[in-house]
Amino acid sequence: MNIWETSTEPDAGRSYDGSVSFGSHLAVGLDRAVDRLASAAPSAPPRDWMRALSEHFTEARARYPDDELCLVFDIDGTILDLRHLTVHVLLAYDRARGTRLFHGLVADDVVHHEDEIEAILASLDVADDRRPDVAAFYRAHLWDPDAILAASRPFEGVFGVIRWFQLQPRTHVALNTGRPDGMRDLTLRSLNTIGRAYRVAFPPELLLTAAGGDVPQAKLAGLERLREAGYRVVAVIDNEPENLAAMARIDRAEEVLFLHADTIFRSQRPHRARVVSGRDYRLRELVPPRTLPDRVQFVWHGVNDVVNLDRFLDSEVAWAEIDVRSDPFGRLVLRHDGFEEVPWSREEPLLTAEEALDRLVAAGRCVKLDLKEGGPTLAAAVELVRGLGLCDERLWFNAELPAIGEEGFRSLRAGFPSSTLSCPVDFLVPLVLAAAADQVLDLLRSWGIDRLSVRWGPRAREVLDLLEQMGWRTNLYGVPDLESFLEASLLLPASVTADFNFPEWRYFGRGSGQRVAASVG
């Protein structure tokens, strides 16, 4: 389903990261690669590295529609932020020695490469006489399996980027790391443990490790192995400039985009060659508007006034959510807040449910009714909907449990057997996480509810996964911005409900007009 507006031009106000110049401190054998990378015009306008990657991938797919395309990621310093590992090991030193040298230490305090322990200790003002013992302990334990499993933290957004590519047809993400062969199993276990929440998994055959001590040469060999296996490498992301320059040797056709993860790195920035450089993994720069998964229903939240209705109808979003309640005259109107909580005023324009539904049905759209009240309001809403002639597949009823109760949900299921029937379950999240929600969820299922709404937040991924393991279809709502919307969409829930206030994509949803706190799914 194509849900996006016709215009795909970027907003003029978007910001871009500059690309970073690299040059020739490399070995003689890398001269050709450095010369080729140096050919980029110095006057070229800077662009965001994720946008550059998106454009390059689109071009590669158009050029090679049937090939197995492969993007190659480094791990340490590119996917994983090893500052957290450094902090973990230094705190382990304090615990082992009974000291407090690193009290209050956090990842942002680490400004040197994880291998440069002397520089790290100097920057933290550790006393000279303590540094040898700390350094020895640190080197002995930096790559302990327990430390790797406990302290592996991804850079924000990187797993969303990987997920997007893994969802593309005939597209693969390989890992090309300087870690030795002996760390293969540990590496896969730690990355797949982290990736589970993002629905990312790395197969063993796409993990390339270093057999010897020459990491740049090992990475070059890794790309050759991928090509021999039939993959067309289209992009390489690494935080070490010397690795990028080494791998460029294999790109004789000049078809690979090299991207520098500008985090913490040891090799010097060369002066002659250029690659696209950046630090933030932003989905909003990577994902073109028309490439989100069609397996997800997208819902424009709070289409409660004429302006928002017009903006919704000007879009290609299929589903509109309207908040239905009775006004003091007894009419069905669209309003999020109750009239007791937020009294109406003589100047307040109220859009009637009948007028809004007539326009939505005439435009061929699907309707999600968030029923704010039971009793006469529910009965009137059912009568109104029946008169529209909408098939059940274009109808979705949502309500909080106290609003319409068991009787209301059962009546909706009986009256509209093939429609979607949902409720927000944020109150159940602690029980879901504790594996103690089965009885309540079984009760909801017996009422006819077939979709559960979960507010977007830090635990949403985990809750979504647990609910889907129990056979539930899910709706994610309360996504605050475009980046969150994209992250939520790539998890492939049944639906995502959002205000669609995304100026970057020329969507200007107004929201529901909510003025008092409430949970709405």
Rounded to the nearest 5°, which phi and psi values hold at 236? -130, 130
The pLDDT of residue 143 = 93
329 has pLDDT over 80: yes
Distance between CA atoms of residues 423 and 473, nearest Å: 12
The pLDDT of residue 521 = 58
What are 181's two structure tokens?
């062969």
* Tens digits of residue pLDDT in 197-219: 999 999 999 999 998 778 999 99
The pLDDT of residue 46 = 61
**Do residues 369 and 397 touch, judged by C-beta distance below 8 A?**
yes
* Tens digits of residue pLDDT in 487-509: 999 999 999 999 999 998 989 99
C-alpha 248: how far from chain center: 30
**Do residues 74 and 237 touch, judged by C-beta distance below 8 A?**
yes
Per DSSP, the residues of 85-138 read: HHHHHHHHHHHHHT--TTTT--GGG--S-TT-HHHHHHHTT--GGGHHHHHHHH
Task: Work out the number of other CB atoms within 10 angstroms of the CB of residue 61.
Answer: 17
* Tens digits of residue pLDDT in 23-74: 222 333 334 344 444 444 344 556 799 999 999 999 999 999 999 999 999 9
The pLDDT of residue 273 = 52
* Tens digits of residue pLDDT in 154-167: 999 999 999 999 99
Distance between CA atoms of residues 160 and 486, nearest Å: 8
Rounded to the nearest 5°, which phi and psi values hold at 311? -65, -40
The pLDDT of residue 45 = 53
- The rounded mean pLDDT for the chain is 88
Pairing of strands 232-238, 69-73: parallel
Rounded to the nearest 5°, which phi and psi values hold at 271? -105, -15
Distance between CA atoms of residues 158 and 150, nearest Å: 19
In 329-374, where does DSSP find H-type helix?
353-362
Per DSSP, the residues of 158-211 read: HHHHHHHHHHSTTEEEEEEEEEEGGGHHHHHHHHHHHHGGGT----GGGEEEES
Confidence of residue 372 (pLDDT cuts 50, 70, 90): very high
